């Protein structure tokens, strides 16, 4: 029991630091990636190759003057970014990051917790995150901030519906389990879920862009119309929490897509490779190798997020809502119906 508690504590701290570290250096990589697309160098002054730039940016955020408007609701003004940040980190609790690890003769999951309603947990926590934006925009007592918050809430609610239906189709095609570990392990020896759910993946990916407020869906913080959107009145590290949480959400969304549709830490001929090296189940080498494979998939998705941001123009708000309600929602229902028919003829479901 003591070993289990120690192991869980170490995993919690490791996942928390991983999310913070990836979010910090995702800001640097985005600036480098944008510089590459625009034929310039990007940050290169703070440390070798600009590697200390995230630390400089974080230090700047901490040392800037903190301003809370007199007309704002002070307690809710502080609660908004805190809630948004906490919900962003909480989503990482149910993600399995690698194969189980042998510890004192017993296998332990490389995961904070494996609950049998992991998919519902993810959707629930993501839904709570919108309250952080809404509370922050409303508590600012600023019309531009409120407009940004209303945009964010309506956008996230609209795209969550299509995302949820796409996940229902995925659950049906992957055996009916709501556990993230079961969904990823189901792709261990067979083909990845993308083969059975290409349309579902496309719907989920577009919805993930909207849920994370990434371009071309960054209407909630559109500078040309709303000054700065829902965080117009925020400064110092409270603004930093909003910005930081967005990068954590992008990282977690990439991890979810890589796990749900592309096998997570699984890859073709993995067992043959492990046998060739003589690695036994539960060894540190297998867990580390699987984590590395998973992280490469996540990194590729993060690059895709950034590529889209620096390539496509921003939608108008009516286009954004039409895409969610008139295109993605009917497509997700069609994908669900198609999945039921395909799985019926595969013999995995019966009426």
- What was the pLDDT predicted at 2? 66
Helices 2-37 + 74-90 axis angle, to 10: 100
For the chain, what's the residue count? 351
Q: Where are the domains of the chain?
A: 61-98+114-346
The arithmetic mean of pLDDT across residues 24-51, rounded, is: 90
The model's pLDDT over 239-297, given as tens digits with 9 standing for 90+, comes to 888 888 889 999 999 999 999 999 999 888 888 888 888 888 878 888 888 999 999 99
Rounded CA separation 348/337 (Å):
15
Beta bridge partners of 103: 106
- What was the pLDDT predicted at 283? 83
Rounded CA separation 114/97 (Å):
12
- What was the pLDDT predicted at 224? 66
The arithmetic mean of pLDDT across residues 137-158, rounded, is: 88
Say what the pTM is.
0.93
The arithmetic mean of pLDDT across residues 87-99, rounded, is: 90
Rounded CA separation 351/339 (Å):
14
The model's pLDDT over 337-348, given as tens digits with 9 standing for 90+, comes to 999 998 888 766
Mean pLDDT rounded to a whole number for the chain: 88
- What was the pLDDT predicted at 255? 95
Per the rule left: phi > 0, alpha: psi between -120 and 50, beta: everything else, 210 is alpha
The model's pLDDT over 160-192, given as tens digits with 9 standing for 90+, comes to 999 999 999 999 988 888 999 999 988 887 688
Per the rule left: phi > 0, alpha: psi between -120 and 50, beta: everything else, 264 is left
- What was the pLDDT predicted at 275? 86
């Amino acid at each position: 029991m003591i070993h289990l508690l120690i192991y869980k504590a170490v995993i919690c701290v490791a996942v928390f630091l991983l999310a913070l570290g990836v979010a910090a250096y995702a800001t640097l990589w985005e600036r480098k990636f944008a510089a590459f697309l625009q034929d310039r160098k990007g940050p290169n002054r703070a440390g070798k190759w600009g590697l200390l730039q995230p630390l400089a940016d974080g230090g700047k955020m901490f040392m800037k003057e903190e301003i809370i408007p007199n007309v704002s609701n002070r307690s809710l003004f502080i609660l908004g970014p805190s809630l948004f940040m906490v919900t962003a980190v909480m989503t990482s609790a149910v993600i399995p990051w690698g194969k189980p690890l042998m510890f004192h003769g017993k296998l332990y999951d490389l995961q904070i917790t494996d609950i049998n309603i992991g998919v519902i947990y993810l959707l629930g926590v993501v839904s709570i995150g919108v309250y952080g934006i809404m509370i922050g925009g409303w508590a600012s007592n600023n019309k531009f901030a409120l407009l940004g918050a209303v945009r964010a809430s309506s956008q996230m609610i609209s795209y969550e519906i299509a995302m949820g239906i796409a996940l229902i189709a995925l659950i049906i095609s992957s055996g009916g389990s709501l556990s993230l570990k079961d969904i990823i392990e189901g792709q261990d020896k067979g083909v990845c879920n993308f083969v059975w759910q290409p349309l579902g993946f496309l719907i989920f990916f577009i919805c993930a862009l909207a849920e994370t407020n990434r371009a071309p869906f960054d209407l909630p913080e559109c500078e040309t119309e709303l000054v700065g959107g829902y965080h117009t009145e925020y400064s110092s590290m409270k603004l930093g929490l909003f910005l930081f949480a967005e990068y954590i959400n992008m990282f977690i969304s990439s991890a979810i897509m890589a796990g749900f549709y592309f096998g997570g830490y699984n890859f073709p001929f993995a067992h043959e490779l492990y046998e060739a090296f003589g690695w036994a189940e539960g060894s540190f080498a297998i867990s580390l190798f699987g984590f590395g494979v998973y992280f490469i998939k996540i990194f590729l998705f993060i690059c895709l997020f950034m590529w889209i941001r620096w390539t496509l123009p921003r939608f108008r708000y009516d286009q954004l809502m039409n895409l969610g309600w008139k295109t993605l929602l009917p497509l997700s229902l069609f994908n669900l119906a198609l999945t039921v028919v395909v799985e019926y003829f595969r013999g995995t479901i019966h009426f």
